[in-house]
Amino acid sequence: MNDNIKVTELELRIFQCIWQLDNLATVNSIIEHWPDADAPGYTTVLKTLQKMESKSLVDHQKQGKQHAYFSLVNREEVTAGRLGTIIKRLFSGNKLSFAEYFLQENEFSQSELDELKALIEEKEGGRKNGHK
């Protein structure tokens, strides 16, 4: 997994549309499935997809006269890259400060807290067994 994937906000929104469309989307289908009313124009989406293709983030296949684009990276890789940037910029790279902020600023149900505890225990167990 590549944690160094850096995407812009526009690229992230395009990814979200591609993933929503079962990882195969034309420029028009991306615009039609844009998450809010402020969809970018055709040329903006096309040029952004071309840049994403040059960065090996997406590729395309011919569908008649159109190109259908698909992601070459998964949601987890993109999320890790975005989150890494946030932690680096807003928390000076301190993951513990980020975790503390996240816990203090959000309401959690008891079942969510139990799940968080289980994730921490799982992580601790992996370290005891010689894993990172």
Checking DSSP bridges between strand 66-71 and strand 58-63, what pairing results, if any?
A: antiparallel
pLDDT tens, position by position, for the chain (132 residues)? 455 688 899 999 999 999 999 999 999 999 999 988 899 999 999 999 999 999 999 999 999 999 999 999 998 888 888 888 889 999 999 999 999 999 999 999 999 999 999 999 998 887 766 655
Exposure b/e, 27-60, CB count within 10 A at least 16 = b: bebbbeebeeeebbeeeebbebbeebeeeebbeb
In a domain, 109, yes or no: yes
Q: Are residues 18 and 60 in the same domain?
A: yes
Instruction: Report the pLDDT value the prediction gives residue 3, as an integer from 0 to 100.
Output: 52
Q: Are residues 14 and 56 in the same domain?
A: yes
Instruction: Report the pLDDT value the prediction gives residue 36, as an integer from 0 to 100.
Output: 85
Q: Are residues 67 and 98 in the same domain?
A: no
Instruction: Report the pLDDT value the prediction gives residue 51, as an integer from 0 to 100.
Output: 97
Q: Are residues 67 and 97 in the same domain?
A: no
> Which structural domain range is residue 14 located in?
9-71
Q: Are residues 66 and 13 in the same domain?
A: yes
Domain of 28: which CATH number? 1.10.10.10
In a domain, 3, yes or no: no
In a domain, 101, yes or no: yes
Q: Are residues 23 and 58 in the same domain?
A: yes
Instruction: Report the pLDDT value the prediction gives residue 131, as an integer from 0 to 100.
Output: 55
